[in-house]
Amino acid sequence: MALPLPPGLTQAEVAFVAEMELVTIVPRQRFESIHLLGGKTPALRPPHRAELPLWLALLLKKQRRANIVCPPWLYPASLATVIHRETKEDPAAFSPPPPTPSRAHLSAPGLARRVAEHDAGMSAPFVPSCTADAPAGYLPYHWLEVAEALLAHAGDDMPVAAGEIRSLLRDLVEVRAAKMRSSAATLEGLGGGLTLLRGVGSMELAESRGFVLEVVDGVRKIGASLEANRREVEEMRGEGGDDEGSDDDMGL
């Protein structure tokens, strides 16, 4: 109560965090590597691509020292695939996050394993998913923030007109917001209380966090007395039926 901030990150904070995502750039000038808190950046040699954090890439882009490579999932074809999956193939669920990178080892061809070359705990939000070799057809965790930033500042580096991509993004945002809304209705029946949020982006989470928390809390308050009754009955039964339960266990 003392702190007026709502739980979770605000939109501005989410957008700030998203600037740590690695993107691929094509430098136009030589640029020595610099030491940052997150480690050294690669030295930039003009024709070679390099991976930089989004904020640095945008800075270089604004100074016309680099071009940003559009991540594969931001191509119109990839976005159209995702929209198709969200609306036609599986209208109930959010499209899944990008798969963890996996690769078969030379000694065991055919058996793909997780790649653990960067760091150990790699899964959806932590895999570098906005670089040029990210898989197409999946939305990474920071999709909306990165897409907006790229469209606003590097619109001329996009494969097609920024307006076209933007309208596809708008469609996607609307479709997913509608799903988030209808997910509230799945709380209707007893036991139907779990809403699967797999594949939801961080900006969408920040947007609907307040609403979802409030709905779940309301449902909890409405069901509180019923739940208390149920517990009481269970406890009463537990006292009488303790022996039966253990008998069943013995039978197994």
Cβ-proximal residues to 90 (8 Å cutoff; 6+ apart), any chain: none
Q: Which of 175, 157, 177 is nearest to 75 (CA)?
A: 157
CA–CA separation, 203 and 99 (whole Å): 20
Minimum CB separation of residue 112 from another protein in Å reads: 37
**How far is residue 54's CA from residue 68's CA, in Å, rounded to a whole number?**
9
Q: Minimum Å distance from CB 250 to another protein? A: 35
Q: Based on CB atoms, which residue is closest to another protein, 42 or 223?
A: 223
52 - beta bridge partners?
A: 23
Nearer to another protein, 136 or 215 (CB): 215
Query: Which residue, 92 or 224, is less far from another protein as judged by CB?
Result: 224
**Token code pair at residue 140:** 């990474």
Contact residues toward another protein (CB under 8 A) are: 10-12, 15, 148-149, 152, 177, 180-182, 184-188, 190, 203, 206-211, 213-215, 218-219, 221-226, 229
- Enter the tokens of residue 82: 């995702």
Q: How far apart are CA 204 and CA 104, in angstroms?
A: 34
Rank residues 190 and 197 by Cβ distance to another protein and give the closer one.
190
Tokens of 83: 């929209």
Shortest distance in whole angstroms from residue 223 CB to another protein:
6
User: By C-beta, is 188 or 235 nearer to another protein?
Assistant: 188
State the nearest-atom distance from the C-beta of 29 to another protein, in Å.
23
Q: How far is the CB of 194 from another protein (least distance, A)?
A: 13
Task: Give me the least distance between CB of 6 and another protein, in Å please.
Answer: 8
Nearer of residues 112 and 177 to another protein, judged by Cβ: 177
216: Cβ contacts below 8 Å, ≥ 6 apart: 187, 193
Q: How many CB atoms lie within 10 A of CB 180?
A: 19
| Residue 120 structure tokens | 């150990």
